[in-house]
Amino acid sequence: MKPYVTLYRTYKLGKHFQIFFSCALFAAIVYSLSGESETTQANFTFKMPKTWFSTEDKKPSSYVTTNREVFCNKCDFESIKIFFKHDFCHKKALTPMSVYIVGGNKGQLTKDVLQVCENIEMTVFEPHPELSQDLMDMKLKSDFDQAVTVKRFGISDKNEVLNFYGNKKQRHGLSGFHNKANYGLELLGKVPVVPLKTLVKHKVDYIVVDVEGHEIEVITGMDLAKNAELFPVIQVELGGTWIDPDRSNMKMTQSEFVHYLSDFGYSVFLMGQLEEDKSGVLLPINDVIIRQACTHKGSNGLCYVQGNLVAVHPEFVRKDLWPIIQKNVDASIKKLNKKHPFSYFKY
């Protein structure tokens, strides 16, 4: 080939590359100016404002505070369904979903999960003597005739026996290991407690922790540094117990707890419900967002976030469930953004 022909073709390729590069650069600038970016959080990919997880931007925390009715105390009853929208809950031939509920109370959440998942093996822990007996008397079971197992002891971070407080006349949610006399409660008796790390030998697909101020002890008793694989999806109740020394040991703030879970590779979300169609939604959060948010304030002047969070570890979710869960989570975020836009604060 003649030298000038080679030089000409090289020149043409160079011009094509320049044009391509210029177009790509222009597109990137336009996209960045739109105020939105594709955020990846532990293998989740979703559209969020580009500063959503920034340590300096306080607007995401304001979003949580402003929309606190979406992330209310009972809003998890709809958003939990996001994790049970798949065939594995409706085909008996498939491996059952394994679910633990730590703090069964009156069985409301247990019944809700049984309604959306037929193929399920559920274990409920409830140390309150009357409530646990009520749960046993219900003889709850799935549509595939799988009986719910009720354990009448508590879960904590070590093997021991703890004082259990409650109201002998009322079976309400204030009963627990930390509630003292100033809430009108009295000592009901002593209850044995054990850590989950000594009980669980096989993967628990979904675990709910609602234990009125004892959440940290339950979670640290899992020993996630070694056992995160056994607990791929963890739901935990937030609320006023986190800032009340009479109702918890306050070993971590809510923000420190979110950071704790993130350190083990979990993506963390607030669980919510849209009033318009009663559908469940999830909001990606980090420790900074929770630290700066103030949906409620205690009598001691300390702020806290109400509701529930759910932590998902994509690496350890059942491989056959992960694509479905990811799709459902992403869909719920898009729905939340449509009804309560993330651009509300004009990032």
Which domain range does residue 319 map to? Answer: 50-153+202-345
How far, in whole angstroms, is CA 152 from its chain's centroid? 25
Do residue 99 and residue 139 come from a single domain?
Answer: yes
- Asked if residue 206 lies in contact with residue 112, where contact means CB atoms within 8 angstroms, the answer is no
Structural domain contains residue 188: no
Structural domain contains residue 140: yes
- Give the other-Cβ count within 10 Å of 224's Cβ: 22
185 to 5, 44, 180: CA distances (angstroms): 93, 44, 6
Do residue 208 and residue 308 come from a single domain?
Answer: yes
Do residue 96 and residue 12 come from a single domain?
Answer: no
Do residue 13 and residue 117 come from a single domain?
Answer: no
Do residue 255 and residue 220 come from a single domain?
Answer: yes
Structural domain contains residue 125: yes
41 to 277, 284, 338: CA distances (angstroms): 28, 9, 21
| Rounded Cα–Cα distance for residues 310 and 79 (Å) | 10
10-residue mean pLDDT profile of the chain (347 residues): values are 43 49 46 49 72 86 94 91 89 90 93 93 94 94 94 97 84 72 79 97 96 95 98 96 88 96 96 91 94 92 95 91 88 91 61
Structural domain contains residue 231: yes
- Asked if residue 109 lies in contact with residue 99, where contact means CB atoms within 8 angstroms, the answer is no
User: What's the CATH code of the domain at 86?
Assistant: 3.40.50
What pLDDT score does 172 carry? 59
The candidate with the shortest Cα–Cα distance to 241, out of 257, 261, 263, is 257
What pLDDT score does 2 carry? 42
Do residue 67 and residue 114 come from a single domain?
Answer: yes
Per-residue pLDDT tens for 151-178? 999 999 999 999 998 877 766 557 889 8
- Give the other-Cβ count within 10 Å of 340's Cβ: 17
Longest CA–CA span in the chain (Å) reads 100
How far, in whole angstroms, is CA 247 from its chain's centroid? 22
Percent of the chain with pLDDT over 70: 83
Do residue 23 and residue 55 come from a single domain?
Answer: no
Do residue 54 and residue 24 come from a single domain?
Answer: no
| Rounded Cα–Cα distance for residues 170 and 185 (Å) | 10
| Rounded Cα–Cα distance for residues 139 and 298 (Å) | 38
Do residue 124 and residue 260 come from a single domain?
Answer: yes
The domain total for the chain is 2
Instruction: Give the single-character DSSP code of 148.
Output: P
What pLDDT score does 344 carry? 52
Structural domain contains residue 36: no
What pLDDT score does 168 carry? 74
Do residue 86 and residue 11 come from a single domain?
Answer: no
What pLDDT score does 10 carry? 45
Do residue 270 and residue 334 come from a single domain?
Answer: yes
Structural domain contains residue 40: no
What pLDDT score does 139 carry? 95
Structural domain contains residue 22: yes
Mean pLDDT of the chain: 85
Do residue 271 and residue 325 come from a single domain?
Answer: yes
Looking at the chain, which runs of residues are DSSP E strands? 36-41, 44-49, 97-102, 120-125, 149-151, 154-155, 160-166, 186-194, 206-209, 233-237, 267-274, 279-285, 296-297, 303-304, 308-312
Structural domain contains residue 283: yes
Per-residue pLDDT tens for 116-135? 999 999 999 999 988 999 99
- Asked if residue 70 lies in contact with residue 269, where contact means CB atoms within 8 angstroms, the answer is no
